Structure 1
Amino acid sequence: MTRQCWLLTIAFLICIGITLSAAKPRLLIVSLDGFRHEYLSQYSFPTLNRIQEQGVKTRHGMQPTFVTMTYPNHISIATGMYEEDHGIVHNRFFDTKLQKAITFGTGDEGQWSDPKVEPLWITATKQNKKAAVIHWPACHNEFHGIRPLAYTKVYSDAVPFREKIDQAIDYFKNSSFDLAMIYHFEPDKQGHVYGPDSIETYTAIMRLDSDLNYLLIRVNKELDDDLNIMIVSDHGMANTTRIVQPFLEGYINQTAVETNMLDGPIFVLTPRPGYFNEVFNGLRRIPNVTVYKREDFPEKYHYAKASHRLGDIIVIPNGSDTMFSRALTTVVPSKGNHGYDNSIPSMQAIFMAMGPDFQQHLTIDSLKNGDIYQIACHILNLVPNPYATAGSLKNLTHIFRERNNQSSQLLINVSLIILLVLFTFIQ
């Protein structure tokens, strides 16, 4: 090959490289724990309102999976799976197969042995994408021998939201990452302690709104607004006025049940041999609750199949103002809680999105949090995990737009000019 041909070939490859680089999609997912969808209409938030108006927003929020708690729903968002399929059924639970208690901080102790369970950051990593996962539940765990390129090894509430934002922007700017996922524990903390309608919860969200403005400024200045952003939450928050203590109040006897129980927004337990009817009938005496045998639990919740992580009896309140406690001394409930029926308004999460791959000024009715995995795979050109069946793009294809190719076309034109000059030079 002649020297002139080599020059043309190199220039052509540079042209292709520039074009591909300019079109590379990038995605940031931010989850704000306990951000109830109704907060968006209850108050006015400058940055959140701007994101909604510029991009995609919902009328009725995003539906979480049942049970509407933090750990289970962050895994549903990440995997696109229902809780009975990915196996995280509570913030803390006992696995009878592993004979281990599983919580947020559990290390690599076999809880992810099911090869069907695959978070987005693992899907991306397996398909040669750079993923950074910042404080997201389970990001410190290994999935089938694979970890993302960057992840938080030890979780802490002490890390400010802006520090997490800085980490994500630096990954995109300096290390050419394709995906970053941020979890932040507010305003869930304030909602529990002070209640969802408190000034403390409002103040926390206003601070988060300011931090999101900081994010948008950095994206504009340092990434030329070429970043897709989804702002989501895991569940809502409701006012709590009642606590039920089945043992203390004499509905059942503690000696009649196994020690592994779930309490909080639901009460789940297993009677000892010979005590099933006694325990079941005792729980049915509690006012304003519904008691199910696990195998009879409504299929619409997609919850009860994980039998090795649930008890034989499931009790749920008929409203969203009740908590359960196994304690034998009187307990005062926190002012706000969640975990209730995932169809009620107070449990709906938030969803909004903006960026080069999202439509502008679009309002949709609602979506499910299992859809987030599918949306992310679409944007990043990933082949989704076939077992991610809790979500779909079937009714969401209209939220996407073709990427803005103006910058890409400009670079292509410059490259073609370079080619023309080189070609003229070698003649």
Structure 2
Amino acid sequence: MTSKLLWVCFILTTSTFSTSFSLQPDQPKVLLVAFDGFRWDYLYKVPTPHFHYVMKYGVHVKQVTNIFITKTYPNFYTMVTGLFAESHGIVSNDMFDPILNKSFSLDHMDIYDSEFWEAATPVWITNQRAGHSSGAAMWPGTDVNIHESLPTHYMPYNESVSFEDRVAKIIEWFTAKEPINLGLLYWEDPDDMGHHLGPDSPLMGPVISDIDNKLGYLIKMLKRAKLWSTLNLIITSDHGMTQCSEERIIELDQYLNKDDYMLIDQSPVAAILPKEGKFDEIYEALVHAHPNLTVFKKEEIPERWHYRYNNRIQPIIAVADEGWYIFQNKSDNFLLGNHGYDNALPEMHPIFLARGPAFRRNFTKDSMNSTDLYSLLCHLLNITAMPHNGSFQNVQDLLNAATPYVKSTTLLHCNNKQKEYKRENSYDYFIGVSLGSIIVIVFFVIFFKHLIRSQIPDLRDMQAEIVQPLLHA
């Protein structure tokens, strides 16, 4: 009976010992999803049951203040670097760098020159330097070779690829033999339709409903892949949208000679590079030109915009009031919806929703900044953030109290190639292994001692046998 009991204890102990080696938690998983141009109040314009499902079982931030200039590429790069545009260098969708003597244009997809991107290090690179894997489905900038690095897996940008195909790739990467722990997923709408229809158009209702259905499809696929309970899903956007009108147009040709300047970026923030010797003339011609146009010398740009200290910000910027449109002349294309205006305007604000094991349930927060998202991502991924303009304290209350945090190892660089180091094991992990080892050793000693004693006759029996007389035949 004692032998059987020891065998049971031995089996249980070895099981405990093996379990102690698995005390280290699985690598946290994060999926960041962005619907371009999804304004914060689109959630309430039409029924959006899937968005509200996420809100009910996760968190929702009512007001997300994005960065100026409220355009696509600056804000997408802010989300993954935590930096203002003047710091990360993507100051607009259309730029000119006087030092590089190069142009950058979203309209012409002339965006793959890595020199425009390397003032910052996006989160997927930091994640990979920490020894993990990232996957990006069309997220702006992920198909650019930044700091000689691309995401572990990525899809070169192609707007004709369906949302369903993008989701399939993300799930494939999360469930692979060597899975990613960070996924980034991008979809062009409702921005495209918001430009063409205007956000106030009743035709935007079906567009918003379609986005909600796409979110529903994503949720369904995550559940089918058994990722829903383990993955932290964040849903956001880059900017909002405001209604424009052909009755609210500012035409620069009425005030300026087009041969005296270069128009680097147009509406609603005209970035103006005067020809040599023409600065004062251009500025004086514009400063009182139109009541709905505010003109700044670069050094006078409001500090709150954090949009002054970068060579790609032009010497003069002219900012239209909300809903007003800047043309060089009326032959330019007009859009019924636009963005890029002052980031203090509610119409420019995007959405923020999240759910998953790290987040609280049915929790609403009043406000955050888009620069705060980066620190949240780094916290969720357990990686060390690069210097940034956000604050983790601003978003810490979105997380449940049990969310673990293990700081990643420091990264070293050698010959321009990053050496990847395994993540440090947690304190609990070492304690578990140590205790398990001690217990197993103790039981081994007891077990073998019992085994040896069971092979030796009992001393009392031997003594009794010695004192008995020999039997004679």
Say whether the fold is shared (TM-score over 0.5). yes
Aligned to 2:19: 15
Relative to 1, partners in 2 of residues 1:172 and 1:9: Cα closer, same or farther, differing over 3 Å?
farther
TM-superposition CA deviations, 1:186-244 (whole Å, max 9, x none): 00011000111224322122122112112222222322521100000000000011222
Offset, 1:289 = 1.0
- The reply on whether 1:33 has 2:36 as its aligned counterpart is yes
RMSD: 2.5
Offset, 1:12 = 6.1
- The reply on whether 1:202 has 2:201 as its aligned counterpart is no
Matched residues in 1 for 2:114 and 2:92: separation? 17
Give yes or no for contact 1:94–1:260 (8 Å, CA) kept in 2. Answer: no
Matched residues in 1 for 2:154 and 2:263: separation? 32
- The reply on whether 1:86 has 2:88 as its aligned counterpart is yes
- The reply on whether 1:236 has 2:240 as its aligned counterpart is yes
Moved more, 30-39 or 195-204: 195-204
SS at match of 1:333: coil
Offset, 1:29 = 0.3
Matched residues in 1 for 2:208 and 2:131: separation? 36
Offset, 1:357 = 0.2
Aligned to 1:167: 169
Aligned to 1:276: 279
SS at match of 2:145: coil
- The reply on whether 1:305 has 2:309 as its aligned counterpart is yes
In the TM superposition, structure 1's runs of 4+ consecutive aligned residues that sit over 4 Å from their partners are 7-14, 402-405, 423-427
Moved more, 395-404 or 202-211: 395-404
Aligned to 1:191: 194
Give yes or no for contact 1:243–1:333 (8 Å, CA) kept in 2. Answer: no
- The reply on whether 1:111 has 2:116 as its aligned counterpart is yes
Give yes or no for contact 2:90–2:117 (8 Å, CA) kept in 1. Answer: no
Relative to 1, partners in 2 of residues 1:223 and 1:299: Cα closer, same or farther, differing over 3 Å?
same
SS at match of 2:100: coil
Amino acid at match of 1:333: F
Q: Quote the sequence identity (%).
A: 31
Relative to 1, partners in 2 of residues 1:341 and 1:394: Cα closer, same or farther, differing over 3 Å?
same
Give yes or no for contact 1:38–1:345 (8 Å, CA) kept in 2. Answer: no
Amino acid at match of 2:75: N
Relative to 1, partners in 2 of residues 1:14 and 1:203: Cα closer, same or farther, differing over 3 Å?
farther
> What's the TM-score, normalizing by structure 2?
0.78
* Residue pairs, 1:129-278, within 5 angstroms: 129-152=132-155, 154-174=156-176, 175-221=178-224, 222-223=226-227, 225-241=229-245, 242-247=248-253, 250-257=254-261, 259=262, 261-278=264-281
Aligned to 1:399: 398
SS at match of 1:366: strand
1:123 aligns with one of 114, 123, 126? 126
Give yes or no for contact 1:265–1:324 (8 Å, CA) kept in 2. Answer: yes
SS at match of 1:170: helix
Moved more, 30-39 or 90-99: 90-99
Relative to 1, partners in 2 of residues 1:224 and 1:56: Cα closer, same or farther, differing over 3 Å?
closer
Offset, 1:68 = 0.3
Matched residues in 1 for 2:339 and 2:228: separation? 39
Give yes or no for contact 1:356–1:403 (8 Å, CA) kept in 2. Answer: no
Offset, 1:69 = 0.3
Please, which runs of 5 or more residues in structure 1 have no aligned partner? 1-6, 406-411
> What's the TM-score, normalizing by structure 1?
0.86
Give yes or no for contact 2:236–2:351 (8 Å, CA) kept in 1. Answer: yes
Offset, 1:75 = 0.4
Aligned to 2:453: none
Moved more, 183-192 or 214-223: 214-223
Relative to 1, partners in 2 of residues 1:100 and 1:292: Cα closer, same or farther, differing over 3 Å?
same
Matched residues in 1 for 2:403 and 2:101: separation? 53
Offset, 1:133 = 1.5
TM-superposition CA deviations, 1:4-57 (whole Å, max 9, x none): xxx999866742454335x43100000000000011122220100111121111
Amino acid at match of 1:195: G
Relative to 1, partners in 2 of residues 1:183 and 1:13: Cα closer, same or farther, differing over 3 Å?
farther
Matched residues in 2 for 1:150 and 1:358: separation? 26
SS at match of 1:373: helix
- The reply on whether 1:63 has 2:62 as its aligned counterpart is no
Please, which runs of 5 or more residues in structure 2 have no aligned partner? 1-10, 405-431, 449-473
